[in-house]
Amino acid sequence: MTDSDDLLRRVSAKANATTEHLPPPATAEEVAQAERMLGFRLPPVLTHLYREVANGGFGPDYVLLPLAGEGRTVVREYREGRETSGPGADAHWPADVLPILDWGCGMYAAVDWRSPEGPVLLFEPNGISDDRHHAWYVDSETLTDWLETWIAETGWYEEDADEDGDMRPWESAQQRLAE
């Protein structure tokens, strides 16, 4: 068993233990269609989550958005964010940063797939003024670490979380938003 197999097994166990009605996993065709619509391949960890655990509906607090289907999905949220970041618009959503979870109040967890590590970013637009890059923070260095934090119940969003550390700003935000 590989480390990723073990992680998926533990994520699946936690998802089943904490979610009353998990949606079925995404099909291979749904994943392929999402990748065509996004214009890039999903990273293996994210593909396995959607194909082997469920099509969203599990994870920290507000749960992962579905990849495919009706209503709000990862694909729709990404495309809408990019469309409002087009030429002449006030860019707020960088290319290759995939929203995976809506925290509410305009906040999102998103994964930067341009980086090989796939850091999980927090988009927190509340309280910013002129510079959109001030809304982006690094929540976790990798999606794997972010999932481990959820499994261990040690994330910043947990009621009993240690609130000593602040998230660091995402250093690439300004450059990536200007592209």
Q: What is the pLDDT of residues 58-72, one digit of tens each?
A: 999 889 999 989 999
Residue 160 lies in a domain: no
Residue 161 lies in a domain: no
Close Cβ partners of 96 (under 8 Å, ≥ 6 residues apart): 40, 112, 113, 114
Residue 66 lies in a domain: yes
How does DSSP classify residue 88? T
Residue 73 lies in a domain: yes
Close Cβ partners of 155 (under 8 Å, ≥ 6 residues apart): 60, 146, 149, 161
Are the CB atoms for 57 and 71 separated by under 8 Å? Answer: no
**Dist. CA 108–CA 138, nearest whole Å:** 12
pLDDT of residue 99: 96
Give the amino acid at 155: G
Residue 162 lies in a domain: no
Residue 128 lies in a domain: yes
Close Cβ partners of 3 (under 8 Å, ≥ 6 residues apart): none
> Which domain, by its residues, includes 18?
3-154+167-178
**Dist. CA 85–CA 137, nearest whole Å:** 18
Structural domain total, the chain: 1
Tell me the CATH number at 143: 3.40.1580.10
Residue 63 lies in a domain: yes
- Going by pLDDT thresholds of 50, 70 and 90, the confidence category of residue 174 is confident
Are the CB atoms for 161 and 155 separated by under 8 Å? Answer: yes
**Dist. CA 100–CA 110, nearest whole Å:** 5
- Going by pLDDT thresholds of 50, 70 and 90, the confidence category of residue 173 is confident
- Going by pLDDT thresholds of 50, 70 and 90, the confidence category of residue 88 is low
Read off the pLDDT of residues 109-157 as tens digits, 9 standing for 90 and up. 999 988 878 899 999 888 565 566 678 899 999 999 999 999 999 999 8
Residue 70 lies in a domain: yes
